[in-house]
Amino acid sequence: MTARLYHFPSPATDDMVASGPEDKPYTGPIPTFDPDATAYTVDQAAYLISLSADLTRGYVEDGTIPAIRTANGWEIPRNRFTEWINNLPEA
């Protein structure tokens, strides 16, 4: 696997702009991945793109990262997430 650098869009939420986005890399525990699951959690997506969970959640909430709101929070469909990653401009 080769490393690719991506240019992530700026978050659009007012509260993030006022305080500045938290652009630190993911620092939580390594999430477990069910190979049969069809969606990622916000923490799993944050881990995969090496962004903080807070910034990733901001991207999910403003629609930058494709996701579906459920009763239990956010689900990020794996196929849509992969497509989104593949279409990001390289830095």
Whether the CB-CB separation of 52 and 22 falls below 8 Å is answered with yes
Q: Please check whether residue 49 lies inside any domain of the structure.
A: yes
Question: What b/e sequence results for 82-91 when a residue is b if at least 16 CB atoms lie within 10 Å of its CB, and e otherwise?
Answer: eebeeeeeee
Considering its fold, how many domains does the chain have in total? 1
Percent of the chain past pLDDT 70, that is, above it, reads: 76
Q: Please check whether residue 91 lies inside any domain of the structure.
A: no
What pLDDT, on the 0 to 100 scale, is given for residue 16?
A: 46
State the sign of the Cα–Cα–Cα–Cα dihedral 35, 60, 68, 43: positive
Q: Please check whether residue 66 lies inside any domain of the structure.
A: yes
pLDDT tens by residue, 32-70: 999 999 999 999 999 999 999 999 999 999 999 999 999
- Report the chain's mean pLDDT, rounded to a whole number: 83
Q: Please check whether residue 41 lies inside any domain of the structure.
A: yes
Q: Please check whether residue 64 lies inside any domain of the structure.
A: yes
Q: What is the mean pLDDT of residues 26-30?
A: 88
Q: What is the span of the domain harbouring residue 47?
A: 23-30+37-86
Token pair of 50, please? 């090496």
Bridge-based pairing of strands 39-40 and 73-77 is antiparallel
Q: Please check whether residue 68 lies inside any domain of the structure.
A: yes
Strands (E), 25-71: 39-40, 68-70
Angle at 21 between CA 49 and CA 55, to 5 degrees: 35
What pLDDT, on the 0 to 100 scale, is given for residue 5?
A: 54
